[in-house]
Structure 1
Amino acid sequence: MVRPILTLLLCLMLLPAPARAGLDPHRREVIQSLFPSATVIGERRADLPVYPVYQLQELLGYAYESTDLSHLQGFAGKPIRMMIGLDTRGRFTGVRVLEHHEPVFLHGLGEAPLFDFVSQYAGHSLREQILIRTGSEARGKTVDGDPVYFDGVSKATVSVLIINDTVLSSALKVARQTLADFAQAPPTRVRPDVYRPLDWPGLLDQGFVSQARISAAQVEQALGRPLADYPEPPAVAADGLFSELYVAYLNAPMVGRNLLGDAGYRALMARLEANEHVLLVASRGPYPHVGPEFVPGSTPERIGLVQNRLAVEIRDLNWLDASLGPRASGQPAFDAVNLFRVTGNAGFNPGAPSELRLHVELARNHLVHDRTTVTLPVRFNEALFEPVAATDPDARRTPVWQGIWRERAGTVAVLVVALALLTLFFTLQRRLTRWPRLVHGFRWGFLAFTLLFLGLYAQGQLSVVNIYTLLLALWDGFSLDVFLLDPVLFLLWSYTVVTLVLWGRGLFCGWLCPFGALQEMVAWLGSRLRLRQVKVPERWHRRLILLKYPILLGLVATAGHSLTLAEQLAEVEPFKTSITLGFVRAWPFVLYALALLAAGLFIHKFYCRYLCPLGAGLAVLGRLRRFHWLTRIERCGRPCQRCRHRCGINAIRRDGAIDYNECIQCLECVVILRDPEQCVDSLLRRKQARRSPARIPVREVPATTPRP
C-alpha cells in the first residue's frame, strides 16, 4: 500500500505545475517551450519581472517578457514583445516573438524570416559578442568573447537590430541581478584633475598605458605546431617577437593629453557623445592587431575586448589624421594604430580589470585554418578613476539609432549631397529652365537616382504607414528615437516637411518618390511604344482626384482602432511590393502592383493622381506653402492651352492657373514658357515685332491659386 502511494506522489511531483495567478496558459506554454525539462514555473518575482523555472528543486533559469525590461520601440512605433529564456550560465534557451507590428514582416516578407532570426539565439551566451550580418555569411566563431555573427534579414535590417538590442540589454539586466557570475564591479569615472606631463616611458612605467608582449613561442605552444609549418608564416622578429600591443584609455586627461597633445585631446572629447569611451590600441611586430583586410570604421576581427567575462563591442572611429594621433615623446614606431569607440550592451567600466583578446588565424592550406586566442590582461592605474554611485544601465548605453547612423554613414552622405543639389536646382529654377536640355537631363538623371539608389538600395520609400507611426507616437508619448532608427527615412521626411512650405507636395511626389519615378519611366515607355494615351475628361478627372482623400481618412481612422488592420489596409500602396521587396512576394500583391503600373502605360501616373493616400496627406500639408514659384503670364489660359495639354498629370486648369495640390513640379510648363520656339506668347510677340519696330515687353503675372 505504501509503495503505490509513494509512486503516485513522485508522479505528481514530476508533472508540470498548474497555472497560477499571473501565469496564463499561453504564457505558460511558451515558457515550457523555452525550458522543455521544466517541472515547476514559479511566480513572477516581486523585485524583478522574471519567472524562475525549475526541474524539481534545481533552478534552470529565468523567463521574462522583453517589454517588462526594455522600452525600445520597433520600426512601427510599438515595442516588439518577446518571451526570452536565460539559463543559470547566462545562455539563451530561446526567444519567442509574442507580438509585433513590424510592417515588413506582417505584410511583406512574412513572419517566417522573423522567427528564423530569433531562433539563432538559442544556445548562445551573453558572454559572446553577437553581431548582425545581412546576407548569407558564416556565423563566425563561437569561442566565448569572440564575435558571433547572426544572419540578418534583408529588407528588415532596422527591425533585427532593434530585436538584437532588446534581447541583449534585457538579458543583461536579468543576469546582473540574478546570476553571481555576472555581478558588476563598483562603477568608476575619470578624475578630471589628475594630470602631469609624462613621456612614453613614464606612461608605461606608471601603468597609464597597458603593454603586452607576445612571443612566437607562446603562439606556437597555443597552436600546437611551429610557425614554420605554415605555408605563409608571419615573419618573426629577431628577438622572437610575434606581436606587442599597447592599450590606453584616452578619456583620462593624464593619458589623452600626454598622448594626443592638448589640442588633440580637446578635439577628441568635443567629438564624443556623453558616456562614450575611446581606447587607443597600437601594435608592433609581424602580427599587428588589425589585418590587411581590415576596413576602417568597422569592428576588428583580430582583437576583442572582454570585461567581467562579457564581450564588449569596440568599433574603429577612423578619426586618425595629422592632427589627431599619438605623439608622446619617446614612443616607438607602431605598425598599426587605431582609436576604438567602446559600445555594446555590456557596458564598460574603465576602472575595472578587462582583457584584450588577440585572435590568431593561420592557414595550413586553402581549406584548413588553425585558430587560437591569446588573452592579455588590461588594467589601468587606479589613480585615474574615482568610484561613483551606480546608475541605470540604460542611461549609459549608446542608443541603437546612433549605431545605425554610423553603419549607414556613406548612404547618408550621398543622400545629403543629393538633397542639397536638388534644393540648389529648385532655387535656381527660373534661370536654369532657359536650357531645356539641361533641365530634362537633370530630371531624368535624378529620377534614376531616386529609383535605383534611394528606393531599391537605400529603401527610402516613404509610406502612409509612417504617418500612423507619427500619430501613435504623439498619442502614446513622443520619442524622437523611433524616427531616428532609419536615417534615410528620417532625412527624407524632414526634407519633405520643410519643402512642403516652400514648394508644396510636388517636390517629393515628382522627384523623391521611388514609385513615382518608376511610374514616370513606365509612362515614357508607353509613349515610346506608341500606346494610345488616355486623356481623362476634365470633369471626371476633377472627381477622381478626390478619391485619395477618403482613402487617407479611412486609413488614419482605422489606425486609431486597430494598427494591425490599418497596416493591412495600407496595402493599397504598392510601394512595399514594388520597391521594398522588388516584386518578390505573393502573387496577388505582385499582380496588384503590376496592374497599377500597366494602367500608367495609358494614363500618366494613374496611381499618383487618383489613389495615393500619401500624396493626399502631403497635399493637405502642402496648403501651408508660402510661395508660388511657377511663372504664369497673361496669355496662359487666355487663350494659350499648350502647357495644359502638355501637362501629363493634368495639374493646369483651363484658365492657366496651376493646381499646386496636384502639381508634381516637373517644371515642363516653365520650360515651355521660357522657350521662344514653344511658348505661344513668345511666338505671337515675335510676329508682332516683325510688324512693328517697337519692342513689346513680356508681362508676367503672379502665379495663381486654383479656385475651390
Structure 2
Amino acid sequence: MVGRITLLIICFFSCFSTAQAELSENKKALIMELFPSATVIEEKLADFPVYPVYQLQELLGYAYESIDLSRLQGFAGQPISMLVGMDNRGRFTGVKVLNHHEPVFLHGLGEEPLFDFVNQYKGQSLREQIIINTSNTGRPKRTSDGNMVYFDGVSKATVSVLIINDTLLSSALKVARSKLAGFVQTAQTRAKPDFFERLSWQQLVERGYIGHWKLSRDAIESEFGRPLADYPQGFEGTDDSPFTELFFGYINAPMVGRNLLGDQGYQKLMAYIDPGAQVMLVLSGGAFPHISESFIPGSNPERLSLSQNGLAVEMRDLNLSGQGLKLQAAGMPDLVAHNFFRMGGSAGFSPGADATLNVHIELARNHLVRDSIIMDVPVRFNTDLFETVEPAPSFMDEREPIWIGLWKQRWWQIAILLTALTVLTVFFARQKTLSRHPKRVHRFRWGFLFFTLFYIGFFAQGQLSVVNIYTLFLAIWDGFSLNVFLLDPIIFILWVYTFISLFIWGRGLFCGWLCPFGALQEMAAWLGEKLRLRQIKVPERWHRRLILIKYPILIGLLGTAFYSLALAEKLVEVEPFKTSITLLFVRHWPFVVYAVGLLVIGMFINKFYCRYLCPLGAGLAIIGRLRLFNWLDRVELCGTPCQHCKNACGINAIRKDGRIDYDECIQCLECVVILNDDEQCVDKRLQNKKHQRQAYILATDAGNS
C-alpha cells in the first residue's frame, strides 16, 4: 500500500514537472509570429534560458523572455516582460510585450504607442547603434551606412521607452554572446596606470599613442567622382591642405591623458567622470571637421560612429566646455574642433582591441541632391598602453545605470527646479516677516502657482501621485532599489523635498504650492469667483465627515496594490492627474469628463477634490502629523469670538475655536497675512484702539497740566 502511494506521488510530481517544462500553446503561437517559417520550437534550454527555433533541421534563431536575462525595473517598480526573437545574424525578428505595469500606457496613452515603439526593433541588428530620439528633432530613421539608427520615442513616456531599449539591448547581447558566432566578447583591456613619460605631441603620434588619419582633397574628389567646386558649401584652403584630418586618443591612459591635459587637468577629468567610464578624445582639422555646425553638446555625433567586434559602440559627447580643461601638449597643431566622447553602450568598449571609426561625409549639391560616403578609419593604439584583464562575469549589470544619463540630459530642468525650491524655502522660512506685505505675498503666491502648473506640471511632468507611494511599498516588499526612483529626476527631487518639508511645515507646502493639479484647482476657484458663480460653503458638520473619505481611498489603493497591481492601476484613476497634467486632457472622453467635472465643481466648492477625495493628500497628512513646528500663529481672540480667518479660509482648515487643522491646511498663508494686517485682524484693531485711547489720555493729561 505504501509503495503504491509512493509511486502515485512520484508520478504526480513527474507529470507536474513535465507540465511546467512544456512550452505552452499560447507562447508557441507568439514565437511563431516572431518566426513565421518555423516548423520546430524546442523547450527552453537547461543551460541558458532561450527557445531554439528551427525550420526543419535548420536553426533560425532563438526566442527568449527578457525577464529571464534582464530584470531592470520599469517606472512602476516592476520589470517589463517581453518575448524577443533573434536570428542567427543577431537581428531582431520581433518583440512582443507580455506584461508591464507602466502607468502612462495603462489607461493613459493606451498600449498602442508602446506596441508601435517595440515594433521598430524588427529587422534591426545588434551591430547597429540604436538611439532613441526623445527630442522630436526630426532626425532620419537611419544614417547612410545603416550603423546608427534613430527610433521614434513616445511623448510623455521617455523613461519607459529608454528602459525598454536598455532591457532589449542588454538581454539580446547576452544571448548573442552566448549562442551566436561572431559575437564572442574579446579579452578586456585597460590602460596601464603607471605607464607614463613626458612626450611632445609629435612623439605621441609617432609612437602610436594617438591615432592619426588624413583625407586629401584629391582623395575625396576621387571618392565622389566630381570636384569639390560642384558643392556650394565652399571649402576653404589650398589644394595641399587636407579635406579632413583626424586625431584620436584614449584619454584614460595616463600616457595620453596626462600629456594632453597636464597632471591637474587629467586628475580633474578622472574625478569628473564616473568610475569605469571610458573617454576618447577626437580632434579634427581641415575643411570638414568631425562635428557639424548644428552639433548639440552632450549628444551623439552625426559625422562619427564607432564599431568594435562587429558591434556599434556608443559615442556621447561629455560636454566639458565649462570644466576649464585645456589641451597643452608641446607642439600641438592648431585644430578646428575637439570633443571628449564617452565610449560604451550595450556592447562596451575594449580600448586595446582593434576598432573602426566611421566618418560619415555628406555633401549637398543643392537642396534636393546629396552625395554621401562612409570612410572607415582603423582605430589601433600602441599595445604598450594597455594590459589584459579578465572580463567581469556581470559585465552587463555593471554598466552605467540608465538614470545617470537621464539626469545629465535634464540638467537644466533640474537647475531651474532646485532654484525655485530654494526661493520657496526662503519665503516660507521668512513668512512672518514677508506676510506684512499682503500684495507682495499674493503676487508671489500666484506667480509660483503659475510656475507649478506650467513648468513643474505641463512641461517637466512633475506631478506627484499616490502611484509613487505604492511603488515605494512594493519596492520595499520585493527588495528595495533606489534606481527605479531615480529614473525621473524631477519627481525624485520633488519627493525628497516634500518628504523633508512634511516634518517642518506639514502637508501644506506641497498641496498648496507644488501640486500642479492643486494649482489648477485654485485657478478654477478664482475663475468661479470672477464669473460670480455662487460659492457653496459646506456645513461644518458635513465638512468634518467628508474630509475623512480620502483616507479609506488611500488604504484601499495601497491594499489593492499588494493584491493586484493591475487592479490598483485602474482604481488609481480616482486621481485626475494623469488626464489633466500628464496627457493635457487628450484622452478617452470618460476620463476627461471626470477631470473637467472636478474642476467645474471646484468653481463652486473651493478645491473640492483636494479636500475630500485626494488619496495623495491623505498620505501626506498622515506623515505631516510628525511635523516639528506650528508655524501659523494664533492669538487669544482667534475663534473666541473672532471668526475672520475662518471665514476667509477657502478650504475650511480653521476650526471654530481658532485652531489650525494642519491635516487640511494648504499653507496659503492668508490667515498669517490677516493676523499681521492692522486693518483686518480684530486683535490688532483692538490693540490699536487701546493704544490710541492711552495716547489720547496722556495727551489730555499733559494739556491740563
Residue 418 of structure 1 aligns with which residue?
420
How many residue pairs match? The answer is 679
Distance in 2, Cα, partners of 1:206 & 1:410: 42
Does residue 1:246 correspond to 2:237, yes or no? no
Residue 538 of structure 1 aligns with which residue?
540
SS at match of 2:149: strand
Matched to 1:255, the amino acid is V
Aligned partner of 1:407 among 381, 390, 409: 409
Q: How far does residue 56 in structure 1 lie from its aligned partner after superposition? A: 1.3
Residue 203 of structure 1 aligns with which residue?
204
**Contact 1:231 / 1:364 at 8 angstroms: preserved in 2?**
yes
Matched to 1:447, the amino acid is L
Residue 357 of structure 1 aligns with which residue?
358
Residue 490 of structure 2 aligns with which residue?
488
Q: How far does residue 144 in structure 1 lie from its aligned partner after superposition? A: 5.2
SS at match of 1:106: coil
Matched to 2:363, the amino acid is L
Q: How far does residue 233 in structure 1 lie from its aligned partner after superposition? A: 4.3
Matched to 2:99, the amino acid is E
Aligned partner of 2:445 among 443, 448, 467: 443
Matched to 1:235, the amino acid is E
Matched to 1:432, the amino acid is L
Q: How far does residue 635 in structure 1 lie from its aligned partner after superposition? A: 1.5
1:329-408 alignment, distance < 5 Å: 329-391=330-392, 392-408=394-410
SS at match of 2:218: helix
Q: How far does residue 226 in structure 1 lie from its aligned partner after superposition? A: 2.5
Q: How far does residue 240 in structure 1 lie from its aligned partner after superposition? A: 4.5
Matched to 1:438, the amino acid is R
Matched to 1:505, the amino acid is R
Question: What do the CA deviations read for 1:632-675 (whole angstroms, capped 9, x no partner)?
Answer: 12221122111110011110111111011000011111111111
Residue 60 of structure 2 aligns with which residue?
60
Residue 87 of structure 1 aligns with which residue?
87
Residue 577 of structure 2 aligns with which residue?
575
**Contact 1:320 / 1:338 at 8 angstroms: preserved in 2?**
no
Q: How far does residue 219 in structure 1 lie from its aligned partner after superposition? A: 2.3
Pick closer, same or farther for the CA change 1:142–1:35 going to 2, 3 Å.
farther
Pick closer, same or farther for the CA change 1:273–1:138 going to 2, 3 Å.
closer
Q: How far does residue 147 in structure 1 lie from its aligned partner after superposition? A: 2.2
Q: TM-score, normalised by structure 2?
A: 0.94
Residue 119 of structure 1 aligns with which residue?
119
Q: How far does residue 483 in structure 1 lie from its aligned partner after superposition? A: 0.5
Distance in 2, Cα, partners of 1:505 & 1:352: 57
Distance in 1, Cα, partners of 2:697 & 2:256: 78
**Contact 1:515 / 1:575 at 8 angstroms: preserved in 2?**
yes
SS at match of 1:83: strand
SS at match of 1:181: coil
Residue 618 of structure 1 aligns with which residue?
620
Matched to 1:202, the amino acid is Q
Unaligned 5+ residue runs, structure 1?
1-18, 697-708
Q: TM-score, normalised by structure 1?
A: 0.94
Aligned partner of 1:566 among 561, 565, 568: 568
Aligned partner of 1:659 among 648, 658, 661: 661
SS at match of 2:214: strand
Distance in 1, Cα, partners of 2:222 & 2:515: 60
Unaligned 5+ residue runs, structure 2?
1-18, 699-705
**Contact 2:145 / 2:374 at 8 angstroms: preserved in 1?**
no
**Contact 1:237 / 1:285 at 8 angstroms: preserved in 2?**
no
Q: How far does residue 129 in structure 1 lie from its aligned partner after superposition? A: 1.0
Matched to 2:84, the amino acid is I
1:31-70 alignment, distance < 5 Å: 31-70=31-70
Distance in 2, Cα, partners of 1:20 & 1:418: 56
Select between 130-139 and 506-515 the one with higher mean Cα deviation: 130-139
Distance in 1, Cα, partners of 2:253 & 2:241: 33
Q: How far does residue 316 in structure 1 lie from its aligned partner after superposition? A: 1.1
**Contact 2:241 / 2:286 at 8 angstroms: preserved in 1?**
no
Residue 293 of structure 1 aligns with which residue?
294
Q: How far does residue 225 in structure 1 lie from its aligned partner after superposition? A: 2.8
Q: How far does residue 88 in structure 1 lie from its aligned partner after superposition? A: 0.9
Question: What do the CA deviations read for 1:337-377 (whole angstroms, capped 9, x no partner)?
Answer: 11111231110111111111111111122122222111111
SS at match of 2:120: helix
1:131-170 alignment, distance < 5 Å: 131-134=131-134, 135=136, 137-143=138-144, 146-170=147-171
SS at match of 1:176: helix
Pick closer, same or farther for the CA change 1:322–1:540 going to 2, 3 Å.
closer
Residue 650 of structure 1 aligns with which residue?
652
SS at match of 1:213: strand
Distance in 1, Cα, partners of 2:495 & 2:200: 51
SS at match of 1:313: strand
Q: How far does residue 694 in structure 1 lie from its aligned partner after superposition? A: 9.3
SS at match of 1:247: strand
Distance in 2, Cα, partners of 1:56 & 1:218: 50
User: RMSD of aligned C-alpha atoms?
Assistant: 1.7
Matched to 1:277, the amino acid is Q
**Contact 1:506 / 1:662 at 8 angstroms: preserved in 2?**
yes
Residue 682 of structure 1 aligns with which residue?
684
Question: What do the CA deviations read for 1:114-141 (whole angstroms, capped 9, x no partner)?
Answer: 0000000001111111111134824432
Residue 497 of structure 1 aligns with which residue?
499
Matched to 1:64, the amino acid is Y
Q: How far does residue 20 in structure 1 lie from its aligned partner after superposition? A: 9.9
Distance in 1, Cα, partners of 2:435 & 2:379: 65
Select between 46-55 and 493-502 the one with higher mean Cα deviation: 46-55
**Contact 2:66 / 2:83 at 8 angstroms: preserved in 1?**
yes
Identity in percent: 63
Distance in 2, Cα, partners of 1:193 & 1:138: 43
Select between 438-447 and 687-696 the one with higher mean Cα deviation: 687-696
Residue 275 of structure 1 aligns with which residue?
276
Q: How far does residue 235 in structure 1 lie from its aligned partner after superposition? A: 2.9
Question: What do the CA deviations read for 1:10-56 (whole angstroms, capped 9, x no partner)?
Answer: xxxxxxxxx99431111111111000011111222222111111111
Pick closer, same or farther for the CA change 1:576–1:322 going to 2, 3 Å.
closer
Pick closer, same or farther for the CA change 1:304–1:410 going to 2, 3 Å.
same
Residue 591 of structure 1 aligns with which residue?
593
Matched to 1:572, the amino acid is V
